[in-house]
């Protein structure tokens, strides 16, 4: 996904995926792959996180990297995903690897969600001068 992220304290954009079986098994059993999360109060720090049983909420398996200019220019956020690993990249630079296996929910179909939350547990305090911001997604590509 190529995207330019919103600016402002309290913004919390995310490009993520949930397991298709969420309606039958619930969360976190379905699995969650956060391809990219950014917290406006921690400018330019990109997070890639996996949530699944015993690793939900703040206990997700996560990596992060600082990428200058995420709110002023487009960057490429991607994962390489197969039965044995999930690798997280920004601008084709690897920053986090998860060892996948049959014990995790990450070998099933998933669907995409793109959103920008304001505030919340991870987004933090909203700047009192904040009025608006834009999450721009230029494109999404999926390869099988």
- Contact criterion met (CB below 8 Å) for 13 and 5: yes
Q: What is the DSSP secondary structure assignment for residue 119, as one 8-state letter?
A: S
Question: Cα–Cα distance between 36 and 90 in angstroms, integer?
Answer: 9
Known catalytic residue at 80: no
Integer angstrom CA distances of residue 142 from 74, 80, 111:
18, 10, 11
Catalytic residues: 32, 37
């Amino acid at each position: 996904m190529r995207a330019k992220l919103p600016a402002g304290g309290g913004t919390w954009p995310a490009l993520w995926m949930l397991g298709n079986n969420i309606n039958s098994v619930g969360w976190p059993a379905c699995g969650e792959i956060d391809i990219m999360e950014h917290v406006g109060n921690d400018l330019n720090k990109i997070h890639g996180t996996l949530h699944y049983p015993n690793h939900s909420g703040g206990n997700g398996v996560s990596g992060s990297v600082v990428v200058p200019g995420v709110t002023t220019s487009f960057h490429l956020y991607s994962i390489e995903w197969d039965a044995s690993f999930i690798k997280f990249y920004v601008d084709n630079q690897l920053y986090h690897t998860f060892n996948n296996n049959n014990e995790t929910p990450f070998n099933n179909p998933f669907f995409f969600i793109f959103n920008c939350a304001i505030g919340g547990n991870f987004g933090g305090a909203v700047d009192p001068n904040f009025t608006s911001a834009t999450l721009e997604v230029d494109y999404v590509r999926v390869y099988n």
